[in-house]
Structure 1
Amino acid sequence: MNNGYDRGDEESFITDIKEFEKGFDLYLGSKKIAKQICKSVRSRYGGDLLDSAKLVGEKDGKKNYRITHSLRLPKFLIDDIISYEGNIIQIKKIGKKITGRDLSTGKTIMLEDHKDKLRRMKKVGSIKESAETDLIAATENEIQVLDPETDEVVTIPKPYFIDDFNKNKIKVIKTDSGLIALSATFKEKK
C-alpha cells in the first residue's frame, strides 16, 4: 500500500494507539486509509471485518460519523497444523478461506473462515516444531520411525507421500496424539 500522505491525503496519520489483552486499537485520521489497511490485512491473513458508524456531530449541515473497523484475525498461521473433524491439516494459505493439506491423504482442503468452524479447529503444532528423523521401515499401511526426542522406534500410519520416498530421513512433528509424518513437498495426490 502506498503512503497516503505522499499521495496528498493529509489525514493519513495515527492519532492514538491503545493496547488491550486481546489486541489493540489504532486511531487514524483518514477513514479511507483505515479501510484500506483493514482490507489489506484481511486479504493477507483472513479474519472477520466488521464496520460500524456512529454519529458524533454536525458541521456546516453535514453529519460527521466516527467509523469503527473491527478486524479479528484467525487464530492460526500458515504452516500451523490443525485437527478438524478427525483430519490433520497443514494450513497452506489464509484469506477469505483457509486452504490446507490433509496430511494423511494429501488432498487440498478448503475451509470457510466461519466462527463456528474455527471453534472446532484445534492447533496441534507447527512446521517450525518439526524434526528430521530416521525412517526405519514401511509396510502397506504403516511406517516405523525413530522418535526424535527418545530415539524409540514408533509405528505411525503410513502417509500418502511415502510411495515416492527414496530417502531414509523424514520430517515429523510430535503432538498430543503422537508423531505425524510431514512431506517435504506437497504434490496433489491423484
Structure 2
Amino acid sequence: MRIISGNRKGKALKSVPGTGTRPTTDKVKEAIFNMVGPYFQGGLGLDLFAGSGGLGIEALSRGLDKVIFVDKDAKAIATIKSNLDQCDLSDKSEVYRNESFRALKAIVKRELQFDLILLDPPYQKQKLVDILELIDDQQLLNENGFVMCEHSSDVSLPNEVGSLKLLKKETYGMIRISIFHAL
C-alpha cells in the first residue's frame, strides 16, 4: 500500500495486522479521488472506519488541511498513528478509538462540518443508510462536500438520503463506490 498522489506521493503505508481489515486497492483509491477531487484546496475530512488510515492519508496528501480518523480496533489505531508519523502528517490529524455512531455523536457536539467523509465499513456489518441519515440530520457535510461509501457490489444504496444525493457510483469487481453530495 502506498500514497498515490499529492505531496506525499509514493510513501509506503502499513496494513493493519491480521485479516479483519481489508485495505482499499490503489486502483479503487485512485478512482475514488478522481470522483471527489482529485485534489483539495484545504478543508476538513473524516475517515470513519479508517482501518490503516490509507484513504484519509491520501486525502491529506491531496490537500485537505486536517482529517479525523476513527476506528474501533486497537490494532487499526496503532497502524493509523504509525502511518501518520511515517508520512509526517500527525499534526494534521486527530485519531480516536471509538465505535462509528458514538464518534459521530461526539463530532456533532463539536459542531464540525466536513468537506469529505470517507465511509468504508466492514462489509458484513454495514449500516451505511443509517450513517448517511445521521450525517444528513446533523448537517455534518459542508455545502460542497462529498460522502464516499465503499461497499459490496451487491449492495445498492438509495439515490437520496435526506438532502444527500447520489452523485456517482462505480463498480470494481466485488466493490462498489457510491459518492453522495448535499442537494
TM-score by length of 2: 0.23
Higher strand share: 1
The structure in which a higher percent of residues are helix is 2
TM-score with structure 1 setting the length = 0.22
Q: Relative contact order: is structure 1 or structure 2 higher (C-alpha 8 Å, sep ≥ 6)?
A: 2
